[in-house]
Amino acid sequence: MISNFIQYANTPGKIIALITAIPGILIAITFHEYAHAFVADKLGDDTPRRQGRLTLNPLKHIDIYGMILLLFVGFGWGKPVEINPNNFKRTISIKKGNALVSLAGPIMNFILAIIFSIILALYLRFGFIFAVTNPVGNTLALIIRYIISINIGLGVFNLIPLPPLDGSKILVALLPEKARAWYTNNERLLYIVFIII
Alpha carbon 23 to chain centroid, angstroms? 13
pLDDT at 71: 77
Average pLDDT, the chain: 88
* Set 33, 82, 177, 187: catalytic member: 33
pLDDT at 130: 74
pLDDT at 129: 74
Sequence-distant (6+) residues with CB within 8 A of 61 are: 29, 30, 32, 33, 34, 53, 78, 79
Could you please report the per-residue DSSP string of 130-177?
Answer: HHHH-HHHHHHHHHHHHHHHHHHHHHHHHTSSSTTSHHHHHHHHHS-H
| CA-to-CA dists, residue 191 to 66, 89, 121, 196, angstroms | 17, 30, 39, 9
> pLDDT tens digits, residue range 61-77?
999 888 888 777 777 78
pLDDT at 5: 47
| CA-to-CA dists, residue 97 to 85, 104, 149, angstroms | 7, 11, 29
pLDDT at 7: 52
Query: Is 33 annotated in the active site?
Result: yes
pLDDT at 86: 96
pLDDT at 67: 85
pLDDT at 197: 64
> Which segments of the chain have a pLDDT < 70?
1-13, 196-197
Q: Residue 78, SS3?
A: strand
With beta carbons less than 8 A apart as the criterion, state whether 78 and 127 touch.
Answer: no
